[in-house]
Amino acid sequence: MVTIFGLTISEIMNIMVKEGVSIPLIQPLIDFLLKIPIIQYVVALILWKPVFAVLILPGLGGLMISLLFIIWFERKLTARIQWRMGPLEVSRPIAGLMQPMADGMRYLFQEVIVHRGAHKPYFVQLPILAFIPILLPIVFIPAGSIYGINSPYSLIITVALLALIPVTIIAIGWASNSKFAYIGSVREAFMYFAYEIPFMIMVLGMIIIYGTADMATIVEKQGIWGAFLNPFAFLGILITTAMATSRLPFEIAEADQEIAFGPFVEYSGILFGLVMTLAYEKMYIMGLIVSVLFLGGGGGPAIPLLGDLSPAIWLFIKALAVMMVMAFLRSIYPRYRLDQALRIGWNSLISLSLLSLVVAVIVRFMGGV
C-alpha cells in the first residue's frame, strides 16, 4: 500500500474530491471522468481548490487568457482610437484575436541570441526566474472559496512578493551588459522607490479600514466597495499600477524610442516573449489586488450554474476591467521624463497616499466596516 504523508491514495482522493471545485454546469462530466481509472486522479487533482487556484483561475490559466486578451485588446483599442483597424487578417471572423498567439508562435520558433558580452547564465535564467514572484502571489489571492493558502497575512505577503519583480528586471538589465540596458535598469530602480512607498502606504490604509490583512476576510467585509470607502487610495493605487507596470505616461524604464526597451534591448526569441509579457503579468496581479481591495473581490451576483467558479469569474472580470483601463492610457498619453515621473511619485503620490491614510483612520473611527 502506497502512502503519502501517512495517507493512502484513496484517502487523498477523498480529500481532494471533498475540497474540489463544484461546478453544476459540468458536474455530470466530472462524475463520469472520476470513474475512469488513472484519469480520475488527474481530474481530482486539478479540481482540488488549491491546485485549481494556481493552475486555472485566478492562476496560470487566467493569467494566460488575460495576457492574450489584453494584448489584443490594447492593440485593437489603440487602433480604433487612431482611426484604423488593428490586427485583423490573421483571423477575420473573430477580429484578429489570434494575433498575440501568432506573435507568440513566431517568438517561440525564433533563434535565441545570447550575445558575446552578456553574462550568459543569468541572461538566460533570469526571465524564467522572474516568474516566481509573479506566480507566488496568486496562491494567496482568494476567489471566493477557491484559494491556495489561507493566511492572516496574505495581503502583506502578496505585496512583498510583488516588490521582487523590479529586482529581477534590474538584474536582467545588468546581465544584458549593454549601455541602454544599464540606463534602463537605473531608471527602473528609481521608479521602483517612487511608486512602491506610496503603494505600501495606501495598502496599509486599506488594512486599517478593514482591520485585517487577510484577503478573504477583506472580501467578506466589503458591503460597500473599498473604492467608495477610500476613493483617494483607489485613485492612488490606479496611478501606482500604471507606474508599476510601465503603462504609458510612466513607461520610462523601457522607453523604446529613448533607450530601445531598456533592460530588454538584447533579448530575442522566446526569451524576449517572456520578458515583454512581464509587465502585463504584473498588471494582472495588480488588477487582482485592486479588485480584492477596492472592487469587492469575488463578490457579485452568484451564478448557480457555475457554483464555486462564479466568484472566481467575477474576480477575473474585475481584474480584466482594471487592465483594460490601463490599456486605454496608451493611446492618450505620451511618456513623462524620468525626473518628472519621480516628482509625481515623491510629491503627488506620497501626499495622496498620506491623505488616503488619514481618510482610512477617519473611516476606522467612524465605525469601520
* Contacts to another protein by CB under 8 A: 75, 78-79, 81-90, 96, 98-99, 102-113, 179-180, 183, 248-249, 251-252, 255-261, 265-269, 272, 330-340
Q: Strand, coil or helix: what is 203?
A: helix
Over its C-alpha atoms, the chain yields an Rg (Å, rounded) of: 22
Rounded-to-integer distance, Cα 244 and Cα 167, Å: 12
Q: How far apart are CA 369 and CA 365, in angstroms?
A: 10
The continuous run of DSSP H or E covering 138 comes out as helix 131-140
Q: What distance in Å separates the CA atoms of residue 168 and residue 123, rounded to the nearest whole number?
A: 11
Closest distance to another protein from the beta carbon of 147 (Å)? 36
Beta carbon nearer to another protein, 120 or 337 = 337
H-helix or E-strand spanning residue 30: helix 27-33
Judged by DSSP in three states, 148 sits in: coil
Closest to another protein by CB, 31 vs 111, is: 111
- Contact yes or no for 219/299 (Cβ under 8 A): yes
Q: C-alpha angle with apex 232: 228 to 233, nearest 5 degrees?
A: 90
- Minimum distance of another protein from residue 233's CB (angstroms): 23
- 160 vs 324, which CB is nearer to another protein? 324
Q: How far is the CB of 353 from another protein (least distance, A)?
A: 21
Nearer to another protein, 81 or 317 (CB): 81
Residue 340 in grid coordinates: 518628472
Q: Which is nearer to another protein, 75 or 364 (CB)?
A: 75
Least Å from the CB of residue 255 to another protein: 7
Based on CB atoms, which residue is closest to another protein, 101 or 369? 101
Instruction: Tell me the closest approach of the beta carbon of residue 197 to another protein, in angstroms.
Output: 22
| For another protein, the closer CB: 184 or 287 | 184
**C-alpha cell read off for 120:** 550568459
**Distance in Å, CB of 12 to another protein, minimum:** 37
- The cell 533570469 sits on which residue? 126
Min separation Cβ 272 and another protein, Å: 5
Distance CA 203, CA 200 (A): 5
